[in-house]
Amino acid sequence: MSEDENVIPQANSMPPTQPQPIPQPQTIPVSPQLPIAETPQTIPVSPQLPIAETPQPIPQPIPQPIPQPALSDESEAMPMATAEAPVTGQTRMETAWGSSEGDEEYSEMASVGQTGAGEIFQQNYEPWRGELNPRWMRNWAILRHHVLGIIKKGHRPWGVPTKIFLVIVFFASLSDAGLTLLASLIGESEFHSMWGVNRDNLYGHVLGFFPRNVMYYPIVAALLVGGVISEDRLHGTSALYFSRPINRFDYVGMKYASVAIIQAIIIIFTLFLYYLTEIMAFGRGWAWIIDTFPIFLGALMGGVLLIITYTSIGLALSSVSKGKFFPGIGLLAIILGTKTLAIIVKNLFDREILYLLSPYDCLAHVGQALVSTQPTYDQYSWTWSLASLIAMNAIALYVLSSRVSSMEVTRE
């Protein structure tokens, strides 16, 4: 048997079959004719009506009640008649497609095209002939985007809890300035010695452990650094940066600067306000300012070191993550965890060496040296703490740079 004879008919190539007899439509009994008056009522109009004559009122046709068709038994039975006929669906087909005769006028069957009612959206490509600004403007855009996002809509969307916490911490950081002002108002010298500007209070404003370095600054840093880089990885927005003329250094540098500036507003700006309040409220002269300014500068440098350290560690954690939770918790764990561990070791073994692993303690030790306040770390020099701080920052920046340089533009 040849292949040709053995071909299985395809669905679309059915062999010709005998035409099926088309079922004749069942005659459906039509309802009886409405009884129409045989002689229609007409208005007699005479063409030869003389114009001058007073027009006769036109006799209005008396409305005849429309005779209702008397429903005979036959018409009532009509639906029943269709039920008796075989169900062919033909009536519906005729409704949809016209009669089965095929004699319809095409014009009757053609669907009416939709009338054009104007175009609401017209796509027009608008060229732009402007000049792009240089590198500093691009960097300023990144900085502005992050810093203004704290107070203004349309920039980086910081979370509402973050914004609220920043406001709370800002005012809480001004507590010493407020109490100094209060001391000047009530004129209580003992109250002033407790809260006014002095070596210990300037140190305490920046590097005091409780509450500032437990409840304020580490949490602020954790909230800020959490999503700064990790969310670019999460949402793929790194492509938005790197497909623009922005290099990795500018990207990470401006993000770093943004986070540092926001922390500086809370830590250093409030320190400056505290110092200014003392000068204004107590009318301090140049002699006092010259005396205390080195201490103020020492506290300020301590604050700068704190901001740099917390930002470096935090951004390094942010760069290895795709969410903001891990970097935030990680930063808090490093700052407070190492401190707790060092306290335990000191209490158990009377050894302070583990404080070198704690970023906060290293900052505090260096800060004490800068402000020249009473040191609380006796077993080693502050230079060890400074070296440890430098090492911590170097490691964090290395991680940060290597992670950012490996960020993809096409896929993250």
Which DSSP string do the residues of 215-260 spell out, in sequence order?
IIHHHHHHHHHTTTTHHHHHH-THHHHHTTT--HHHHHHHHHHHHH
- Contact by Cβ (8 Å): 156, 237: no
Rule CB under 8 A: say whether 161 interacts with other proteins: no
Rule CB under 8 A: say whether 99 interacts with other proteins: no
Rule CB under 8 A: say whether 157 interacts with other proteins: yes
Nearer CB in complex with other proteins: 149/303: 149
Could you tell me which residues come within 8 angstroms of residue 43 by beta carbon, excluding any fewer than 6 positions away? 58, 59, 61
- Contact by Cβ (8 Å): 65, 34: no
Rule CB under 8 A: say whether 249 interacts with other proteins: no
Query: Contacts from 357-362 at CB under 8 Å and sequence distance 24+?
Result: 357/388, 359/309, 359/310, 359/313, 359/334, 359/335, 359/389, 359/392, 360/209, 360/213, 360/218, 360/335, 360/336, 361/385, 362/309, 362/386, 362/388, 362/389, 362/392
For residues 127 and 131, give the distance between their C-alpha atoms in angstroms, rounded to a whole number. 13
Minimum CB distance to other proteins, residue 154 (Å): 4
Nearer CB in complex with other proteins: 65/127: 127
Rule CB under 8 A: say whether 13 interacts with other proteins: yes
Number of residues in contact with other proteins under rule CB under 8 A = 47
**Of 203, 241, 274, 360, the one binding other proteins by CB under 8 A:** 241
What is the sign, positive or negative, of the torsion defined by CA atoms of 267, 272, 276, 279? Answer: positive
**One-letter amino acid of 143:** L
Rule CB under 8 A: which of 41-70 touch other proteins? none
Minimum CB distance to other proteins, residue 412 (Å): 7
Nearer CB in complex with other proteins: 99/237: 237
Query: What tokens does 37 get?
Result: 């008056």
- Contact by Cβ (8 Å): 160, 151: no
**Of 135, 164, 329, 376, the one binding other proteins by CB under 8 A:** 135
Rule CB under 8 A: say whether 283 interacts with other proteins: no
**Of 138, 192, 212, 339, the one binding other proteins by CB under 8 A:** 138
Minimum CB distance to other proteins, residue 159 (Å): 9
**Of 246, 304, 336, 399, the one binding other proteins by CB under 8 A:** 246
Rule CB under 8 A: say whether 126 interacts with other proteins: yes
Rule CB under 8 A: say whether 128 interacts with other proteins: yes
Nearer CB in complex with other proteins: 154/187: 154
Nearer CB in complex with other proteins: 171/249: 249
Rule CB under 8 A: say whether 203 interacts with other proteins: no
Residue 300 burial (C-beta neighbours within 10 Å; 0-12, 13-18, 19+) = buried
DSSP H helix total and E strand total for the chain: 19, 0
- Contact by Cβ (8 Å): 319, 332: no
Q: Nearest Cα to 397, choosing from 317, 304, 338, 302? A: 317
**Of 37, 42, 121, 378, the one binding other proteins by CB under 8 A:** 121
Q: DSSP character for 22?
A: P
Rule CB under 8 A: which of 216-235 touch other proteins? 231, 235
**Of 20, 115, 124, 347, the one binding other proteins by CB under 8 A:** 124
Task: Find the part of the chain contacting other proteins (CB under 8 A) among 50-58, 268-276, 354-362, 403-411.
Answer: 403-411
Name the site residues for other proteins (rule: CB under 8 A): 2-4, 7, 10, 13, 121, 123-130, 132-135, 137-138, 141-142, 144-145, 154-157, 231, 235-247, 409-412
